[in-house]
Amino acid sequence: MTIADRSQVPAARRVVVKVGSSSISGDNAGQIAPLVDALAEAHGRGTQVILVSSGAIATGIPYLALDSRPTDLATQQAAAAVGQNVLIYRYQDSLDRYDIVAGQVLLTAGDLENPTHRTNAQRAMERLLDLRILPIVNENDTVATHEIRFGDNDRLAALVAMLVKADLLILLSDVDALYTKPPQEPGAERIHEVAFDDALEDVVIGSTGLSGVGTGGALTKVSAARQAAEEGTAVILTATTLVTEALRGEHVGTWFAPAP
């Protein structure tokens, strides 16, 4: 179905929710439980939910006794191998409260560009959803290379939404909405809705994130939102702390209208 406005969100058949590293790792690891609460509420009313979660590298860093995010690919891969295991455990531990089972899906950009791999991924995701499993998708950082990496999971989330023909994509971060300029600057105004053909010519969009553990920023989120909207998927950009309200169709964040 086409979700024309927020009032139709609770009736969405299939929703992709993307959460960034800074929202569910380090000092914010405690946000996993309320995020799961929101996903479980939507799952309980019959919505098929897919979570695209960053955070494998950020979660693995403390276990490798590193002080900051590694810059070399090999150490990033090592951190991801450790962190992905811990991250999925934390999600499943929280989902157990609702008797919901998670399914781990790791993808590279090459997987979605190769027709055979893309078809296999699509078939697996459809079957997981049919079985009422909650897929948790992340980039396969352990085998990804600089040439084929998504670069940020906002783009991955948009591609997953297109792959499964989702009705709605929710992009979560540590900022509650899109603003006319970086929200920390004086005079920044929240943008409530973005029409499908709005070029956002008067908006100054920052390209960097607000934390040291993520790789995405406002620029990547707007780009991902446009990509999904062009394929007919409505998009909400908001803060992780507002995911419950977003999934209930309340007036939070920035709404990107889908292509008519």
Question: Interhelix angle for 73-95 vs 32-44, to 10°?
Answer: 60
DSSP H/E element including 42: helix 32-44
Q: Is 154 annotated as a binding residue?
A: no
Residue 169: closest CA among 70, 256, 39: 256
Q: Is 207 annotated as a binding residue?
A: no
Whether 221 and 206 have beta carbons less than 8 Å apart is answered as no
DSSP string of 164-191? TT-SEEEEEESSSSEESS-TTSTT--EE
Q: Is 85 annotated as a binding residue?
A: no
Q: Is 141 annotated as a binding residue?
A: yes
For residues 158 and 171, give the distance between their C-alpha atoms in angstroms, rounded to a whole number. Answer: 9
Q: Is 223 annotated as a binding residue?
A: no
- The pair of structure tokens assigned to 45 is 């009313």
Q: Is 198 annotated as a binding residue?
A: no
For residues 221 and 109, give the distance between their C-alpha atoms in angstroms, rounded to a whole number. Answer: 17
Buried b or exposed e, range 45-76, using 16+ CB within 10 angstroms: eebbbbbbbbbbbbbbbeeeeeeebbeeeebb
For residues 34 and 239, give the distance between their C-alpha atoms in angstroms, rounded to a whole number. Answer: 13
Amino acid at 81: A
- The pair of structure tokens assigned to 192 is 């409530």
Q: Would you list which residues are annotated within the binding site for substrate?
A: 54, 141, 153
Binding site listing: 18, 54, 141, 153, 173-174
Bind-site residues for ATP: 18, 173-174
